[in-house]
């Protein structure tokens, strides 16, 4: 079996996530070749063939062009599957490659069980075991599901791919920086985060009070920030801040993967939720099954005593 691993730059840099592609291929028992839209001066470390397209010509984002180049590489390698990280780059690109290849795509794979792919569903509460019916498959893997423990080494054998002009109809116009962070949650020892389960904006001060009682910072999940209950610079998650406090208290947070990505490295996690099956339970050291606000009030009161 052969896998074509699609590496990605994020804002011009290689990230740790790329290494998980190797773990995934190893778990599949597949030989590998790589593909990257990037620069020769910054390549992933591995011994094998790397198809390299020049990022200056192909742009950071031009999915139709990138998809075409990936297909060429996959055909040259006769790859059985093409593997992406399930990221804003990968989930945008993978379906285009799958469509052109007339192949199955399986998204956000969390595991391999007897050669079949496990993937999350129902907001992370359930799992599906999925099998392609096509000879080739396009796969995206959940970031964090295939942790790389080995040592990345080697120098790839680069084969430059011919980059044609970007496809018409779509133009990448550049990046916008995230807003300035007045709150740096990455250094906080204690974070108490509010989720949609707190019910209403008026309940945010009570969560903040618990944070204060623990000498910590207030955090928030994405829906709470989208609803305007808490400002964005306190958002914990893949598109907010990545945190690793000594204590993380999740109040009314169900635990969507985008949130778990941001806080799974916390040393100790207390989750308060009415739903015993909420996916936050996967990372919680203590799962408190209760109405959030009365519990938070009681805990704040006891700490202050």
| Binding residues among 6-45 for another protein as defined by CB under 8 A | 10-11
Q: How many residues bind another protein (CB under 8 A)?
A: 97
Residue labelled with tokens 């009161």:
301
Minimum CB separation of residue 228 from another protein in Å reads 9
How far is Cα 95 from Cα 97, in angstroms, rounded to an integer? Answer: 5
Cβ closer to another protein: 49 or 143?
Answer: 143
Region binding another protein by CB under 8 A among candidate stretches 22-30, 49-57, 73-81, 218-226? 218-226
Residue in 1, 27, 42, 126 binding another protein, rule: CB under 8 A = 126
Decide: is 134 part of the binding site for another protein (CB under 8 A). Answer: yes
Region binding another protein by CB under 8 A among candidate stretches 28-36, 60-68, 149-157, 200-208? 60-68
From residue 61, alpha-carbon distances to 93, 148, 203 in Å are 10, 26, 41
**Residues of this chain, 254-273, that bind another protein according to CB under 8 A:** 254, 267-270
Residue in 14, 98, 109, 260 binding another protein, rule: CB under 8 A = 98
Minimum CB separation of residue 23 from another protein in Å reads 17
Cβ closer to another protein: 33 or 84?
Answer: 84
- Are 84 and 139 within 8 A, CB to CB? yes
How far is Cα 135 from Cα 231, in angstroms, rounded to an integer? Answer: 48
Decide: is 116 part of the binding site for another protein (CB under 8 A). Answer: yes
**Residues of this chain, 157-216, that bind another protein according to CB under 8 A:** 168-179, 189-190, 214-216
**Residues of this chain, 68-97, that bind another protein according to CB under 8 A:** 86-88, 91-92, 94-96
Residue labelled with tokens 């949609």:
196
3-state secondary structure of 253: coil
How far is Cα 271 from Cα 269, in angstroms, rounded to an integer? Answer: 6
Residue in 56, 152, 155, 289 binding another protein, rule: CB under 8 A = 289
- Are 274 and 289 within 8 A, CB to CB? yes
Decide: is 56 part of the binding site for another protein (CB under 8 A). Answer: no
Residue in 54, 158, 247, 264 binding another protein, rule: CB under 8 A = 247
- Are 221 and 236 within 8 A, CB to CB? yes
CA 6 to chain centre: 15
How far is Cα 132 from Cα 106, in angstroms, rounded to an integer? Answer: 8
How far is Cα 147 from Cα 267, in angstroms, rounded to an integer? Answer: 18
Written as six digits, the tokens of 10 are 């994020």
3-state secondary structure of 88: coil
Residue 220 Ramachandran class (φ > 0 left, ψ -120 to 50 alpha, else beta): beta
Minimum CB separation of residue 78 from another protein in Å reads 19
Residue in 166, 232, 244, 264 binding another protein, rule: CB under 8 A = 232
């Amino acid at each position: 079996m052969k896998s074509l691993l699609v590496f990605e730059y994020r804002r011009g840099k290689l990230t740790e996530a790329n290494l998980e592609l190797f773990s995934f291929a190893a778990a599949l028992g597949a030989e590998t070749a790589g593909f990257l839209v990037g620069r020769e001066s910054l390549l992933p470390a591995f011994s094998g063939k790397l198809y390299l397209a020049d990022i200056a010509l192909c742009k950071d984002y031009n999915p139709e062009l990138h998809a075409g180049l990936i297909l060429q590489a996959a055909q040259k390698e006769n790859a059985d599957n093409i593997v992406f990280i399930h990221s804003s780059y990968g989930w945008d690109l993978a379906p285009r490659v799958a469509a052109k290849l007339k192949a199955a795509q399986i998204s956000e794979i969390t595991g391999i069980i007897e050669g079949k792919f496990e993937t999350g569903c129902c907001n992370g509460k359930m799992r599906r075991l999925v099998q392609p019916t096509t000879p080739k498959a396009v796969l995206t893997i959940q970031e964090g599901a295939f942790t790389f423990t080995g040592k990345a080494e080697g120098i790839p054998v680069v084969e430059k791919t011919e980059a044609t002009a970007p496809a018409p109809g779509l133009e990448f116009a550049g990046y916008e920086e995230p807003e300035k962070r007045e709150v740096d949650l990455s250094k906080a020892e204690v974070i108490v985060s509010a989720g949609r389960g707190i019910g209403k904006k008026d309940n945010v001060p009570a969560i903040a009070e618990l944070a204060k009682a623990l000498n910590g910072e207030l955090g928030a999940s994405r829906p709470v920030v989208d609803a305007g209950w808490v400002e964005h610079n306190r958002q914990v998650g893949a598109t907010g801040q990545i945190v690793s406090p000594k204590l993380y208290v999740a109040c009314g947070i169900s635990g969507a993967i985008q949130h778990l990505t941001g806080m799974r490295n916390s040393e100790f996690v207390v989750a308060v939720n009415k739903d015993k099956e909420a996916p936050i339970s996967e990372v919680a050291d203590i799962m408190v099954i209760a109405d959030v606000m009365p519990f938070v009030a009681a805990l704040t009161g006891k700490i202050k005593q």
